[in-house]
Amino acid sequence: MQKCPKKSVAGPKGEARGVVSFGSTRVHETLTVQPFFEEGGNLAFYAEGTSPAQIELLSTGKFTSASGSGPVLATEVPLVETVPGAPYGSVEFIKVKVGAAFMKGKKLVSYGTLPKKCPKGGFPVKAELKFFSGETVTVTAKPPCPKK
């Protein structure tokens, strides 16, 4: 894999967990997920697992705005191919943080900043997951406000 420029990293490594099949045996796998900035304001997510199957996935995402809410991150999670002839793997859990900053001279250049005021109880977050089967699952959370 070609090395990406240092300023292309869009956050710390996250993780994903899923299940892969070997015959009739279902086995859990943990992957690392690294977010990167792409041209045009898009994001790329590189996921890698090494055991029990060698898995390398690249997915893309983009921030947009929705009326009445904050930024929206739409990301596609590709089908997880494991070994020839086996069923696709199943993603059970993804945890990734997106946001980065770097110094340009004496100025801090930030990506993915939060509003200056934090709503009481934390920032409302909603994830809407649309599956290949047509099923949609919505999850909400309120991460706490950052400590000053």
Each residue's pLDDT tens digit, 6-41: 778 888 899 999 898 887 888 899 999 999 988 777
Mean pLDDT of the chain, nearest integer: 81
Q: How far apart are the first and last CA of the chain?
A: 39
SS3 content of the chain, % helix, strand, coil (to 5): 5, 50, 45
Q: pTM, whole model, 2 decimals?
A: 0.75
Query: Helix or strand or coil: residue 45?
Result: strand
pLDDT at residue 111 in the model: 67
Give the dihedral sign, CA 39/31/132/136.
negative
